Amino acid sequence: MSFGQIRNCVVLGLPGNPVAVFVCFLMYVRPVLTRLAAALGREPMRYPVPAGFTQKKKKGRREFLARAAGARSRRTPRRHQGDGSGLISSLREADGLIEVAEDVENVRTGEFVNFIPFSEFGLGQHWDGHGPGTTTLWKRFPVGGSVMQNFETDRESAANDLAERLFFELEKQGNRYSLCRKIGNHARRDNLTLDEVEHVLERWKLESPHGG
């Protein structure tokens, strides 16, 4: 990939193979576009799952592999037959990405790897650890003695951080929220959904001279 700027224009160069383009867009270009749009961005959640394949890689570089980890593979990511960044057919079978860290040289069957479902990017259906096709949001499940944070908690934390920067107080009341301005006219809005909270804060950030 390449990154640059020509006057006020941000330039992002993508690789040539289709799978590589898809992965690089999700992991690197999408966050840039989100930030340029002044939207609320967050890191995609990584879920440790046992690998259902073996893989060698060069040490010193991070790799993202398109893999299926749905109901058919019983939450174990498997390798697509005829793997490669030039074979777009692997994306048709995949429901997420496996992230392999820089210090890893070999991935072995049964070892835990980080799985990033495509639904973390708003693509496809939600994946809750039992495969695609479910309608529930991310659920918490214990892995290695820890408990993974769910999607709603992550959004709520990001909204609370932005509210603080914009001098709002965010209060949760059951499954609804209240926003109160700490300065000025102390404007208050109640009975908001989390989507409405994000919308209000993003709009305030763009329109207010005090935003951002």
Query: Do 167 and 87 reside in the same domain of the chain?
Result: no
Statement to judge: residues 135 and 200 lie in one domain = no
Burial 149-158 (b: 16+ CB within 10 A, else e): ebbeebbbeb
Last residue of a domain, one of 90, 113, 142: 142
Q: Is 26 helix (H, G, I), strand (E, B) or coil?
A: helix
Distance between CA atoms of residues 94 and 204, nearest Å: 38
- Contact (Cβ atoms closer than 8 angstroms) between residue 53 and residue 44: no
CATH number for the domain including 92? 2.40.340.10
Residue 40 domain flag: no
- How many structural domains is the chain composed of? 3
Residues 78 and 126 in one domain: yes
- The whole-model pTM stands at 0.56
Flag whether 35 is in a domain. Answer: no
Domain contains 202: yes
Q: Domain range for residue 14? A: 2-27
**pLDDT tens digits in sequence order for the chain, 212 residues long:** 898 989 888 899 998 888 889 999 999 998 888 888 877 777 888 888 888 888 888 889 898 888 765 434 445 666 555 556 666 777 777 888 889 989 999 988 888 888 888 888 877 655 555 444 433 333 333 333 333 344 456 678 888 888 888 889 999 988 899 999 888 777 889 999 888 888 888 777 766 554 44
Evaluate whether residue 134 is within a structural domain: yes
Q: Is 38 a domain residue?
A: no
Nearest to 43 by CA among 30, 56, 55: 30
- Residue 99 and residue 167 in one domain: no
79 and 131 share one domain: yes
